[in-house]
Amino acid sequence: MFLYYKLRTAFLSYYLLAIAASIIILSGVGSAKIMFISMGGNDGTAILEMILVTLSSMAFLSAALTQLKPVYVFNFFFWRILFQISFMILKTSIDF
**CA 41 – CA 81 distance, rounded (Å):** 24
The C-alpha angle with vertex 80 and arms to 27 and 38, in degrees rounded to 5, equals: 55
**CA 94 – CA 19 distance, rounded (Å):** 33
C-alpha distances out from residue 48 to 22, 33, 35, 45, 52, Å: 24, 13, 14, 5, 6
Q: How confident is the model at residue 28 (pLDDT cuts 50, 70, 90)?
A: confident
Residue 71 has pLDDT above 80, yes or no: yes
Residue 62 has pLDDT above 80, yes or no: yes
pTM assigned to the model: 0.76
Q: How confident is the model at residue 95 (pLDDT cuts 50, 70, 90)?
A: low
What is the mean predicted confidence (pLDDT) over 51-66?
A: 85
**CA 83 – CA 53 distance, rounded (Å):** 9
Please list the alpha-helical segments (H only) found in 1-96: 2-13, 15-39, 44-65, 70-94
Q: What mean pLDDT, rounded, does the chain reach?
A: 85
pLDDT of 5: 92
